Amino acid sequence: MQDNATATADRPSAAPRHLLVTGGCGFIGSNFVRLVVLEHPDTRVTVLDKLTYAGNPYNLAGLPTDRVELVVGDICDQQVVDRLVERSDAVVNFAAESHNDNAIADPQPCMRTNVQGTFCLLEACRRHDVRFHHISTDEVFGDLALDDPARFTEASPYCPLSPYASSKASADMLVRAWVRTYGVRATISNCSNNYGPYQHVEKFIPRAVTSVLAGVRPKLYGDGRNVRDWIHVDDHCRAIWVILTHGRLGETYLVGADGERSNIEVLHTILRLMGRDEDAFDWVRDRPGHDRRYALDAGKLRRELGWKPKHTDFAEGLSQTIAWYREHEAWWRLAKVATEATYAKRGQ
Ligand code: NAD
Ligand code: DAU
């Protein structure tokens, strides 16, 4: 978005007084709401969340009700969205169908929420001239070969290769078009794989951890050599706040913490930290079209906005995450049963 005629070097440095967070009952959204409430006392938050299988109001438990309001609703519902955007001074859009395996099995919900939902939010922000920050993914750039020295940057061409990635790329394109055509005051961040507390048990790290805790062998897709670029969710949330409050309007920022690791390496680390043999897992069939490697260069975010990750010791971050799942069995137990039944039907 750098050559955008309507984007200016305008920096919205004031913290929003009333923030609308969509998808705030999910993994990253709830971590973000907690960070805002604890560290930014002048900001009130309204969460708009449909409470799909991935959304859990318990994720906001304990936060002060005079600072955080939950509205159960759909980002595709233009009336609800307009009403909430009108009374906000910024929107951060986390709401999405976020899981690749689900989008492969049935792409419809993913297209609806990720594309149509972003469109509804953009229209409301255009009508009410409200600042918009869109949460996106490194998957929009496609994948890299294992031996490719390259990493994604903001200048990398879009090349989404999966249904989920193409829905997120479509949403990013809408944001860019609304910036250029209507002058919507928006930014985009494209982040790599997050880990940490409150992540749904369908995802790789919490699935493996809760399997070990439940006495079941974790599952590794394909040949296990696929590489993901891991970042702690707290580092991602801090990056979002700094982009929201100091990022240049119309710009894209990549968020990553130089955390490239193969899946088998991650699984070995989890098993070792949990006192199991490194080979105490099962190989299962590969994900169709499985992206080989993601890796991103967050140099622009570091240079322009001074962000840097705090959680640089991956084994330490994993240990804390394992401890969180050990202490929160009531949070994951029911979802685990439903999730594993779905995986079993898919042979994964
Ligand atoms: P999540 O699946 O844990 O949470 C998604 C939340 O959105 C849930 O609370 C769900 O109820 C809500 N939601 C879904 N459809 C909705 C709708 N139509 N209206 C309102 N709410 C709806 O997802 P996450 O892992 O926290 O991801 C959040 C965002 O970050 C997504 O946009 C995702 O694409 C992006 N992202 C995730 C990662 C990652 O590693 N998890 C990395 C980069 C980007
Ligand atoms: O790169 C950012 C993306 O990271 C986000 O945009 C997505 O919302 C998020 O879900 C994540 O996508 P992945 O597909 O990379 O995450 P997932 O946790 O599903 O899988 C991580 C890797 O682990 C992937 O290569 C598939 C593999 N895997 C996954 C599961 C669930 C396994 O080997 N075994 C498993 O049981």
Compute, in angstroms, the gap from residue 78 CA to the centroid of ligand 2: 31
52 lines ligand 1 (CB under 6 A): yes
Question: Is 158 considered catalytic here?
Answer: no
The kind and range of the H/E element at 111 are: helix 108-111
Q: Which residue has the higher pLDDT, 12 or 280?
A: 280
Residue type, 239: A
In tens, the pLDDT along 200-250 reads: 999 999 999 999 999 999 999 999 999 999 999 999 999 999 999 999 999
The H or E element spanning position 254 is strand 252-255
- Burial status of residue 297 (CB atoms within 10 A of its CB: 0-12, 13-18, 19 or more): middle
Domain at 11-199+231-259+294-309: CATH code:
3.40.50.720
For ligand 1, say whether the CB of 28 is within 6 Å of any of its atoms.
yes
Ligand 1: centre distance to CA 28 (Å): 7
Structure tokens given for 240: 């979002």
- CA 34 to ligand 2 centroid distance, Å: 24
d(CA 104, CA 114): 14
Residue 73 scores a pLDDT above 60:
yes
Confidence band, pLDDT 50/70/90 cuts, at residue 13: low
> Distances in Å between the alpha carbon of 169 and those of 5, 134, 166?
21, 11, 5
Provide CB contacts within 8 A for 234, sequence distance 6+.
31, 35, 196, 310, 311
Segment (H or E) for 231 = strand 231-232
Grade residue 14 by pLDDT with cuts at 50, 70 and 90.
confident
* Residue with CA nearest ligand 1 atom 15: 96
Distance 343 CA to ligand 1 centre (A): 20
The residues lining ligand 2, judged by C-beta closer than 6 Å to any ligand atom, are 98-100, 137-139, 192-193, 203-204, 207, 219-221, 226, 228, 263, 287, 294
> Is 96 near ligand 1, meaning CB less than 6 Å away?
yes
Smallest-distance ligand from the CA of 118: 1
Concerning whether 329 is annotated as a catalytic residue, the answer is: no
pLDDT at 12: 57
- pLDDT value at position 8? 38
Give domain limits for the chain: 11-199+231-259+294-309
Shortest CA distance to 136 belongs to which of 115, 108, 109, 150? 115
CB burial of 252-270 (b: ≥16 within 10 Å; e: otherwise) equals bbbbbbebbbbbbebbbbb
Q: Which atom of ligand 2 is nearest to the CA of 205?
A: 18
Kindly report the pTM of this predicted structure.
0.97
What is the DSSP-derived secondary structure letter of residue 59?
G
CA of 132 to the centre of ligand 2 (A): 27
User: Cα–chain-centroid distance for residue 308?
Assistant: 18
Catalytic, 129? Answer: no
- Whether ligand 1 lies within 6 angstroms of the CB of 76 is answered as yes
